[in-house]
Amino acid sequence: MCLRTAGRGWAGVLEGSAAKTPENGVGGPMIGMEDFGEAGVCVGKVVMAEKRRRISGAGLVVTAGVVVFLGYVGRGLYQGAGTIGELLAENRQLKEAITNLTEEDQIGYAKVVRQVEGEDGLYTTIRFVETARDDKLRRILEKEYTIAGDVVHFDALIVKFGEKMVMDGKSRALYLWRRVYGERTAPEDGFVIEEPGAEPERYADLLAALPIKQRELFWSSIWDLANDPRKLEEYGIEAIFGNAVYSKVREGLIYVFKISPSGQVVPEVVPDM
């Protein structure tokens, strides 16, 4: 059994065991643990236990540090504001991204692939193309739809940001395609162009600086504000509104979707070269 020494306890024993040799100017023999007999064995056990305790403590510190670091990185990748309102009001990176939006004058085009008479009337197949924000010739989305009739509706959603959401005082806008449908089809039954709530391909790089959860929150919730004018004003959004344009289409023509000075989507008809 190991007993604590009187007085200074093990500190006194360990201090007494310090090397005292002619080389260190003290003189006298080196006192080893064996000179203490049973007490020396106990001292050795205490020293080893102390080393193990320190190593274990250091391991815990390192482990805790790794956990904290991973937690910090995790928050950076996945954390987000609790609501779309908090994100719009407080996130500087989002405001910077919106401020960096450039003015757009074309957001896509459509052309008639074929028109055929069916048992119940004319059917028109169109190819819809969405173009990149920075390159009108680069296609980022291309789909074909067959519509009953020859009058086709193209439905877009537009978000206009005012001074509170931009850093240079100039308004900006997002243009998102929703669906396409014919005169014999209800709008809600139209063909989907962009998946509701998903990040549109045209704006895939817009919010790259934001964590994943914040990007998801923005795209999934932004349209809900359309029904709350008070919050639109509070968050610096001038308007969120739908813009459906339609045209009687025929083969040999291309319908280019332009942006008017007021921010509306308008079709411009040009010959198919």
Report whether 160 contacts 239 (CB < 8 A). Answer: yes
Buried b / exposed e over 133-167, threshold 16 CB at 10 Å, is: beeeeeeebeeebebbbbebbbbbbbbbbbeebbe
Banded model confidence at residue 252, pLDDT cuts 50, 70, 90: very high
DSSP symbol at 118? E
Q: Which residues contact 208 (CB under 8 A, 6 or more apart)?
A: none
Tokens of 89: 């009001």
Q: What is the mean pLDDT of residues 177-200?
A: 91
Lowest mean pLDDT among 26-30, 190-194, 212-216: 26-30
The residues, ordered by sequence, that sit 6+ positions from 117 with a Cβ below 8 Å of its Cβ are: 123
**Tens-digit pLDDT profile for residues 61-103:** 434 443 333 333 333 333 455 788 888 888 888 888 888 888 8
The pLDDT of residue 81 is 55
* Whole-number Å distance between alpha carbons of 219 and 217: 6
**What are the extents of the domains in the chain?**
1-78, 96-271
Compute the distance between CA of residue 43 and CA of residue 156 in angstroms, rounded to an integer.
81
Look at the block and give the residue holding tokens 């817009």: 206
**Partners of 146 in the β-ladder:** 125
Eight-state DSSP code of residue 252: T
Distances (CA, A) of 206 to 94, 128, 138, 190, 242: 9, 23, 17, 28, 21
| Band of pLDDT at residue 51, cut at 50, 70 and 90 | low
**Residue with tokens 């000179």, as numbered in its chain:** 35
SS3 assignment, position 52? helix
Per-chain mean pLDDT for the chain: 76
Q: Which helix (H) or strand (E) holds 239?
A: strand 237-248
Q: Indicate if the pLDDT at residue 45 is higher than 60.
A: no
- Single pTM value for the model: 0.66
CA nearest to 189, candidates 155, 238, 240: 155
